[in-house]
Amino acid sequence: MSTTLERVAPFRNETVRTFSDPAERASLEAALQRVGTASGQHYPVIIDGKPVETEKRIVSYNPAHPDEIVGTVGSATLGQANTAIETAAKRFESWRRLSAHERAQYLLDAAEVVRNKRDDFNALLIGEVGKSWVEADADTAEAIDFLEFYAREALRYAEPPPLVPVRGEENRLEYIPLGVGVVIPPWNFAFAIMAGMTSAAIVAGNTVVLKPSSDSPVIAAWFVDVLHQVGVPPGVVNFVPGSGRTIGDALVAHPKTRFVAFTGSKEVGLHINELASKLQPGQVWIKRVIAEMGGKDSIIVAADADLDAAVEGVAVSAFGFQGQKCSACSRAIVESPVYDTFVQRLRERVKKIVVGDPAEPSTYMGPVINEAAMRSILDYIERGKKEGRLISGGERARSDGYFVEPTVIADVPPDAVVAQEEIFGPVLAVIKARDYDDALHIANNTVFGLTGSVYSQDESKLERARDEFFVGNLYLNRKSTGALVGAHPFGGFNMSGTDSKAGGYDYLMLFTQAKTVSKKVDAASRDARAGGE
């Protein structure tokens, strides 16, 4: 790997492919065959760079074909989890002393490896979490973006910020790493978020215990392997899958854990925050929790909106990756004068959505992640049928996997269960608003505050949304999903988390602490240095 850090080009996002090019399609088809042939492999726990055998294993299944095993990973014991923290604490002492340039180089090298194996990673995402071709490619592209972006950010943070000069002193502020972090990523962006949180932590000089989701552990094992391929030293990232209750709580509570980076549900995030706040024997710091906990995201359709654009934006935001995005639109709030027209057009648009095996290029919606999720979503739909008017979907789509039809429920009261609770599936509630004031009020009536969109051709309405729509990521006349690293720093308010703006210019600060060093100098030595320069 030969990237010269002194000449790193400005950051640019990876382009997400549509696979309209026959060569791109052929490449992914070959990767699907290649990765499918290798399915069922075992990936052990990795502590200090060494494989660790475990009595129990976690099995990762293909949600489109639940009888197909994608792979197995070791399920760590409590003792192994504790060993991983202790190992990471020891390795921190040497890793933190590497320069930012050296740490950044590892991320750039890893990005290049992923770029060269892009379709293999895509194929794994299609098989392990049921992403369509385009959704899988977007996930892999975002993982590359995080590696590239945070590498450059580490170099920027390494440059001392300007301070107010003080006569007779040399003053410097520097950002130093925190210590050992526990990274707990979600399954929905199984590659991007997992790689993003892990890479941000280590490039800032921390060491990590990575506990992946039990629904997507193989993609995490692949990523850890990439890090070791490019030379990241043993013990900097330790791969420790396991039950949240068995080892997750222990990792969070360990006195040598300095921070926890988490993405997942509100309930789990609040539990982690509470557990991390309790002082443990031997603990000498206040643990930091960096959390993104989901949302109940709304798109407002004003009476003056371009309805064709609004219908498309709502449909794509609600049903892309089966609605399993924390940024997914789960509520369309439509002003009364255009409500009926919008609902009719939305019904026609949803009919065009292709539900099927994500390994097929024509599929738009694949399966939800597992049987428990499917059952929960179907229960919410039954509740929604009582709270509103079913206009599309409402049933299990296929019997050979965890498929749910794209479901639209109209005439939903703003305080209904399906309008308030995060369903995390292909279910959209459509709510009628009296006017724009009412629409903004409804949009802010949940405990969440992650993403939102407004469709309107009235600039004054868009300005009001900027001021009054309380979300971390607000989009005007565009969909509520698809945040790009560097362009749309991502994170929300209230029960959506700690507003940790992933892919933004202050994100690495969350993995560091600021230290000020002041040195008294006499005028003679200062003048001598000035003369030498």
Task: Spot the catalytic one: 112, 135, 142, 292.
Answer: 292
The per-residue pLDDT for 1 is: 39
Is position 301 within any domain? yes
- pLDDT over threshold 80, residue 442: yes
Q: Could you tell me which residues come within 8 angstroms of residue 187 by beta carbon, excluding any fewer than 6 positions away?
A: 129, 213, 215, 216, 369
Confidence band, pLDDT 50/70/90 cuts, at residue 4: very low
Task: Compute and round to an integer the Cα radius of gyration of the chain.
Answer: 24
Is position 61 within any domain? yes
Q: Same domain for 329 and 448?
A: yes
Give the whole-angstrom CA distance, residue 101 versus residue 155: 6
- pLDDT over threshold 50, residue 533: no
The per-residue pLDDT for 524 is: 59
- pLDDT over threshold 50, residue 440: yes
Q: Could you tell me which residues come within 8 angstroms of residue 242 by beta carbon, excluding any fewer than 6 positions away?
A: 58, 75, 76, 77, 81, 211, 248
Give the whole-angstrom CA distance, residue 509 versus residue 36: 40
Is position 523 within any domain? no
Give the domain range for residue 143.
26-161+172-293+503-516
Average pLDDT over residues 268-291: 98
Confidence band, pLDDT 50/70/90 cuts, at residue 522: confident
- Answer for the pair 123, 32: CB distance below 8 angstroms, yes or no: yes
The better pLDDT of the pair 7, 503 is held by 503
Give the whole-angstrom CA distance, residue 470 versus residue 366: 32
329 has catalytic annotation? no
Among residues 486, 493, 374, 502, which one has the least CA distance to residue 427? 374
The per-residue pLDDT for 6 is: 58
Tokens 């309930």, residue located: 267
The per-residue pLDDT for 2 is: 39
Tell me what the pLDDT averaged over the chain comes to. Answer: 96
DSSP 86-100: HHHHHHHHHHTTS-H
The per-residue pLDDT for 245 is: 85
- pLDDT over threshold 60, residue 530: no
According to DSSP, residue 502 is labeled: B
- CATH number at 420 reads 3.40.309.10
Q: Same domain for 249 and 305?
A: no
Is position 321 within any domain? yes
- CATH number at 134 reads 3.40.605.10
Query: What's the pTM value of the predicted model, to 2 decimals?
Result: 0.96
Give the whole-angstrom CA distance, residue 117 versus residue 121: 6
Q: Same domain for 229 and 284?
A: yes
Number of domains in the chain: 2
The 10s digit of each residue's pLDDT in 365-379 is 999 999 999 999 999
Give the whole-angstrom CA distance, residue 390 versus residue 375: 18
The 10s digit of each residue's pLDDT in 209-218 is 999 999 999 9
Q: Same domain for 435 and 453?
A: yes
Q: Same domain for 262 and 377?
A: no
Cβ atoms within 10 Å of 429's Cβ, excluding its own: 30
Q: Could you tell me the CA-to-CA distances from 94 to 89, 103, 115, 150, 486 in Å, in that order?
A: 10, 12, 29, 21, 30
Q: Same domain for 259 and 354?
A: no
Q: Could you tell me which residues come within 8 angstroms of residue 385 by beta carbon, excluding any fewer than 6 positions away?
A: 394, 409
- pLDDT over threshold 60, residue 125: yes
Task: Spot the catalytic one: 326, 329, 405, 422.
Answer: 326
According to DSSP, residue 244 is labeled: I
Residue ranges in 172-216 assigned as alpha helix (H): 192-203
Q: Same domain for 398 and 257?
A: no
The per-residue pLDDT for 236 is: 98
Q: Same domain for 154 and 282?
A: yes
Is position 115 within any domain? yes
Q: Same domain for 308 and 213?
A: no
- pLDDT over threshold 60, residue 316: yes
The per-residue pLDDT for 527 is: 57
Q: Same domain for 266 and 302?
A: no
Q: Same domain for 263 and 128?
A: yes
Confidence band, pLDDT 50/70/90 cuts, at residue 528: low
DSSP 434-470: SSHHHHHHHHT-SSEESEEEEE-S-HHHHHHHHHH--
Average pLDDT over residues 171-176: 97
